[in-house]
């Protein structure tokens, strides 16, 4: 049951999108987000949606996989849409007791829904085509200049990759401990809120204990291999921009600039 | 003989309907008789762990039924918890389930969930600790202060305290040193003898199962490959090897001696039996 959680799941593949430098993809997503936030007219939304569809096509990510990421935020999308639908002042279209639906409200609700959907599916496309390791590598490289300001960029990136690496392990562990406590009659599914919260103690204590134990073991293992932080550390896979990277960057930059200027 | 658990045509498929779907059990049939000490062996991935999680209703069969005392345990899904008190399951590395402030409270977790309290609870906790071989003085210590072997015993005591009719143990001795193994298994056996509780011992170690089980079931690829007394099972060494399992060392020695033309019973399976067989041979042969 817990295994169904997709948290930035990576789909291995060998499409042009997979081969792009992770820095390119991170920047492209930033440009794309800027573009989505600068949209005002319906034409701009259609254009950004088309760009997303094209990117998904190039990445060979199916529509179903793309929209699966929306499930957890469906509630937020619906909530935002409803609020906008009923609380935007303007020309009245219909009236339901105290609630007024306005022409402006319909438009804002539709625009907000499209915006959130595009934002989320856009970022999901990044995690679908970029492995967590590549992602942190790219982030580390992009944040590199901050090292001058004494920001521990390498350490942060390392922490991020370790955290990502251990998510599946912890989920598996949670499943196991849950089964073991259920075998002793623990009940996680019934009772009120307070009771359910209390029922989590037998799950959380062992989980924390084992997480700390794992962290300790990992630290020892890293030290045994002479890990000493980012100073003077070289990379096995050095990131290099290729022509396609410049092309992709130019494309998304043009999209963002175009929408800002013309819309 | 009287069946306490009957598994009928049990199939379990993980991730049904996804590209990752995989059958762990396929039309498995199994009986557990009241009061026996049953050993279940199988290679890694043979379906052992999946099988035992069906016995107390942690997993629901994709197909087939699990009967406890002749009643389908899923007849009333809301009462599945009561099945878990009747069939006690000790997971592999159970020490990771300890969570309470003291060992006493941790052992009491199961029986408390059953609604017990007062003197009955106290008696059960102390009895369980004794059966698991845990010293009384450790009951008021934090479980996290115990040694690895003691933690294991505390966790096993936590299941014994529910006084289940069937006690299922998944690799109870994994990761212990040889002496800790022997002691733990001796305690489990003593509990089985004294209480007459049905025990299902799951292991991949032939030696262990050979020494302690009265009857053995061999699993392979989600099915029962063979079952019978240790003697019956180990006399089919060839088939066991095909399933990726080893016969006990004593059996291997006996089979090798037999190949050399000595009249040793090939179905011996403990070191003691082998020694007796060899002595008998020596006496018979006149030295």
- When pLDDT is averaged across residues A237-246 and rounded to a whole number, the result is 83
Which of A62-71, B128-137, B200-209, B246-255 has the highest mean predicted lDDT (pLDDT)?
B128-137
Residue B203 phi, psi (nearest 5)? -160, 160
Contacts with B128 from chain A: Cβ below 8 Å: none
| pLDDT recorded at residue B18 | 63
Is A81 an 8 Å CB contact of chain B? no
| Residue A183 in contact with partner chain B when CB distance is under 8 A | yes
Nearest CA in chain A to B167: A183
Mean pLDDT estimate for chain A: 84
Q: Do A184 and B56 touch (CB under 8 A)?
A: no
Among B63-77, B188-202, B241-255, the minimum mean pLDDT is found in: B241-255
Q: Give the pLDDT confidence score for residue A5 in this predicted structure.
A: 47
CB pairs under 8 A between A and B: 57
Angle ∠(A99,A102,A108) on CA atoms, nearest 5:
110
* pLDDT of res. A1: 41
Q: Is A214 on the interface with B (CB under 8 A)?
A: no
Average pLDDT over chain B reads 89
Average pLDDT, integer, range A64-77: 80
The more confident residue out of A126 and B107 is B107
pLDDT at B163: 94
In chain B, the residue whose alpha carbon lies closest to the alpha carbon of A210 is B96
The pLDDT of residue B287: 45
Residue B247's pLDDT band (cuts 50, 70, 90): confident
- Interface check for B88 against chain A (CB to CB < 8 A): the answer is yes
Distance CA A221, CA A238 (A): 24
Whether A185 and B91 lie within 8 Å, measured CB to CB: no
Say yes or no to pLDDT of B174 above 60: yes
Of residues A181, A185, A201, nearest to B97 (C-beta)? A181
pLDDT tens per residue, range B146-161: 998 999 999 999 999 9
Contacts of A185 in chain B (CB under 8 A): 81, 84-85, 109-110, 113-114, 162
A76 pLDDT higher than 70? yes
The closest alpha carbon to A125, from A47, A40, A199, A68, belongs to: A68
Q: Name B163's Cβ contacts closer than 8 Å, sequence gap at least 6.
A: B111, B124
The reply to whether A12 touches chain B by the CB within 8 Å rule is: no
- Interchain proximity B159–A184, CB inside 8 Å: yes
DSSP A65-106: HHHHTTGGGHHHHHHHHHHHHHH--SSEEEEETTEEEEHHHH
Partner-chain residue, chosen from A185, A201, A202, that has the shortest CB–CB distance to B84: A185
Residue A155's pLDDT band (boundaries 50, 70, 90)? confident
A202 CB neighbours in chain B (<8 A) are 97, 99, 109
User: Do residue B114 and residue A185 have CB atoms under 8 angstroms apart?
Assistant: yes
With a CB cutoff of 8 Å and minimum separation 6, the contacts of B30 are B5, B6, B7, B10, B51, B217, B224, B227
The predicted structure's pLDDT at residue B100: 92
Segment B252-272 shows an average pLDDT of 82
Mean pLDDT of A30-58: 87
Q: What is the pLDDT of residue B20?
A: 65
What percent of chain A has pLDDT above 70?
A: 97
What number of CA atoms fall less than 13 Å from residue B24's CA on the CB side?
Answer: 22
Interchain contact, A183 vs B113, CB within 8 Å: no
Is the model's pLDDT at A4 over the cut of 90? Answer: no
Residue of B nearest to A202 (CA): B99
Q: How far apart are CA B247 and CA A215, in angstroms?
A: 39
B33-43 pLDDT per residue, tens: 999 999 999 88
* For residues B4-24, average pLDDT: 82
**Most confident segment among A140-144, A185-189, B214-218:** B214-218
Is residue B21 less than 8 Å (CB to CB) from chain A? no
| Confidence (pLDDT) at A2 | 47
pLDDT in tens, A123-135: 888 888 888 888 8
Residue A119 in this model has a pLDDT that exceeds 60: yes
Under a CB-based contact definition with an 8 Å cutoff, are residues B85 and B112 in contact? no
Cα of A150 vs its chain's centroid, Å: 27
Closest Cα of chain B to A50: distance in Å?
A: 30
pLDDT single digits (tens) A218-236 = 999 999 998 887 777 777 7
Q: How far is A177 from chain B (nearest CA, A)?
A: 6
How distant, in Å, are the alpha carbons of B40, B172, B186 from that of B193? 19, 18, 10
The candidate with the shortest Cα–Cα distance to B159, out of B10, B238, B13, B55, is: B55
* β-bridge partners, B22: B14
Sort out which chain A residues have CB atoms less than 8 A from B79's CB and list them. none
Q: Compute the nearest-CA separation of A207 from chain B (Å).
A: 8
Instruction: Kindly tell me if the per-residue pLDDT of B17 is higher than 50.
Output: yes
Residues 120-159 of B with CB under 8 A from A: 144, 158-159
């Amino acid at each position: 049951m817990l295994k169904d959680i997709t948290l930035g799941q990576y789909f291995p593949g060998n499409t042009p999108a997979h081969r792009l430098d992770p820095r390119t993809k991170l920047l492209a997503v930033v440009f794309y987000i800027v573009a989505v936030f600068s949209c005002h007219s319906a034409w701009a939304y259609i254009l950004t949606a088309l760009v997303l569809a094209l990117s998904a096509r190039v990445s060979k990510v199916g529509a179903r996989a793309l929209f699966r990421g929306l499930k957890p935020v469906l509630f937020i999308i619906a909530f935002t849409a409803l609020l906008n639908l009923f609380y935007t002042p303007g020309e009245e279209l219909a009236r339901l007791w105290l609630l007024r639906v306005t022409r402006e409200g319909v438009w804002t609700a539709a625009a907000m829904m499209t915006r959130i959907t595009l934002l989320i599916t856009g970022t999901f496309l990044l995690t679908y085509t970029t492995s967590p390791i590549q992602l942190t590598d790219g982030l580390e490289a992009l944040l590199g200049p901050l090292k001058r300001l004494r920001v521990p960029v390498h350490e942060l990136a390392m922490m991020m990759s370790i955290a990502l690496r251990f998510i599946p392990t912890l989920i598996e562990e949670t499943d196991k401990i849950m089964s073991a406590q259920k075998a002793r009659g623990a009940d996680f599914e019934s009772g009120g809120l307070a009771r359910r919260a209390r029922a989590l103690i037998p799950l959380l204590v062992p989980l924390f204990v084992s997480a700390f134990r794992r962290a300790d073991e990992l630290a020892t293992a890293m030290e045994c291999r002479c890990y000493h932080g980012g100073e003077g550390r070289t990379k096995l896979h050095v990131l290099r921009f290729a022509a396609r990277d410049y092309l992709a960057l130019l494309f998304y930059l043009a999209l963002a600039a175009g929408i800002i200027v013309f819309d | 003989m009287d069946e306490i658990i009957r598994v009928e045509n049990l199939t379990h498929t993980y991730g049904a309907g996804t590209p990752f779907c995989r059958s762990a059990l396929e039309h498995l049939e199994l009986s557990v008789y009241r009061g026996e000490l049953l050993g279940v062996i199988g290679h890694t991935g043979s379906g052992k762990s999946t099988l035992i999680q069906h016995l107390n209703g942690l997993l629901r069969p994709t197909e087939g039924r699990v009967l406890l005392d002749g009643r389908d345990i899923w007849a009333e899904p809301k009462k599945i918890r009561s099945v878990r008190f009747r069939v006690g399951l000790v997971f592999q590395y159970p020490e990771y389930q300890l969570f309470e402030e003291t060992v006493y409270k941790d052992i009491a977790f199961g029986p408390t969930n059953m609604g017990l309290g007062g003197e009955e609870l106290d008696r059960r906790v102390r009895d369980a600790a004794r059966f698991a071989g845990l010293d009384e003085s450790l009951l008021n210590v934090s479980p996290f202060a115990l040694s690895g072997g003691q933690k294991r015993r505390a966790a096993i005591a936590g299941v014994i305290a529910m006084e289940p009719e069937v006690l299922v143990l998944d690799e109870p001795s994994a990761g212990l040193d040889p002496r800790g193994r022997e002691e733990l298994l001796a305690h489990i056996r003593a509990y089985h003898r004294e209480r007459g509780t049905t025990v299902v011992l799951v292991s991949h170690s032939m030696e262990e199962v050979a020494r302690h089980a009265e009857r053995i079931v061999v699993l392979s690829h989600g099915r029962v490959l063979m079952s019978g007394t240790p003697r019956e099972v180990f006399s089919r060494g060839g088939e066991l090897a095909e399933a990726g399992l080893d016969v006990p060392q004593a059996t291997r020695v006996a089979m090798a001696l037999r190949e050399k033309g000595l009249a040793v019973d090939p179905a011996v399976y403990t070191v003691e039996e082998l020694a007796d067989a060899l002595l008998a041979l020596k006496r018979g042969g006149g030295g």
